């Protein structure tokens, strides 16, 4: 399955142990894994200086200059800060909301009114919800199906929630158990990477759908 491949590869990177205990061991981890990671880190470091130009140039253009630049350092710092938690209780504080003192302020970071990221933290977990940009009907359908595909396999994904939070398209719930088993910085990197990739994936899928539709229509109309 070609779609979403970039995302699955980075999911593998989170696990420090061998791929045997990982559900998607069918993906070969050997092909240039080291390349994406340093690239992303350099991007984050350079993101600070990049973001200035990106903002100045990309303010108006809706399609091309969808710079993940300015938003990513912003989101990554937030997620990194809220990912420092400890074992407190078996009950996740966020969905249950039993005690006020265990919850942090929810924080939203938005690029415009359609795309935003909601980060709700607590003493033992953090919930990151992403609203993906959907410009037209077909992007809406593609996004919806793609998210559903992943959320149905949420058990294997570990940090994904089966249902997104109201008003958003997909939600991650990262708990203290997850941070004990997985590298924290990798988790953060994964979420950022996910955000950046999702736009690209959806555009790619849209292009391929259009291309296929064109070919099918051509073939069909050749009969006439």
78 vs 198, which CB is nearer to another protein? 78
Member of 77, 91, 211, 215 binding another protein (CB under 8 A): 77
Interaction of residue 48 with another protein, rule CB under 8 A: yes
Q: How many residues does the chain have?
A: 224
Residue 27 to residues 10, 19, 22, 172, 191, Cα–Cα distance (Å): 11, 10, 10, 23, 20
| Three-class DSSP category at 118 | strand
Interaction of residue 105 with another protein, rule CB under 8 A: yes
Residue 104, sorted as left (phi over 0), alpha (psi -120 to 50) or beta, turns out to be beta
Member of 104, 138, 141, 151 binding another protein (CB under 8 A): 104
| Phi, psi (deg, nearest 5) at residue 109 | -125, 125
Which of 36-44, 100-108, 133-141, 143-151 is the region at the interface with another protein (rule: CB under 8 A)? 100-108
Which of 4-12, 53-61, 133-141, 179-187 is the region at the interface with another protein (rule: CB under 8 A)? 53-61
Rounded to whole angstroms, how far apart are CA atoms 41 and 88?
32
Rounded to whole angstroms, how far apart are CA atoms 66 and 200?
10
Member of 71, 83, 143, 192 binding another protein (CB under 8 A): 71
Which residues contact another protein by CB under 8 A? 48, 51-52, 55-56, 59, 70-71, 73-74, 77-78, 80-82, 99-101, 104-105, 107-113, 116, 121
């Amino acid at each position: 399955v070609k779609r979403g491949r970039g995302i699955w590869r980075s999911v593998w990177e989170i696990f420090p142990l061998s791929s045997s205990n990982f559900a998607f061991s069918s993906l070969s981890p050997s092909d240039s894994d080291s390349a994406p990671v340093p690239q992303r880190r350099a991007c984050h470091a350079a993101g600070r200086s990049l973001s200035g130009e990106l903002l100045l140039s990309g303010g108006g253009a809706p399609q091309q200059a969808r710079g993940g630049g300015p938003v990513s350092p912003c989101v990554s710092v937030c997620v990194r800060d809220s990912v420092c938690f400890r074992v407190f209780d078996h009950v996740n504080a966020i969905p249950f909301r039993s005690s006020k003192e265990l919850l942090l302020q929810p924080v939203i970071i938005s690029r415009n009114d359609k795309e935003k990221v909601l980060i709700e933290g607590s003493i033992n977990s953090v919930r990151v919800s992403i609203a993906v940009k959907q410009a037209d009907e077909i992007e809406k359908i593609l996004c919806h199906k793609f998210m559903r595909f992943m959320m149905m396999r949420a058990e294997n994904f570990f940090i994904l929630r089966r249902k997104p939070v109201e008003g958003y398209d997909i939600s991650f719930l990262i708990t203290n158990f997850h941070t004990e088993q997985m590298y924290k910085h990798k988790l953060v990197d994964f979420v950022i990477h996910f955000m950046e990739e999702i736009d690209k994936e959806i555009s790619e899928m849209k292009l391929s759908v259009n291309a296929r539709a064109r070919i099918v229509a051509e073939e069909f109309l050749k009969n006439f």
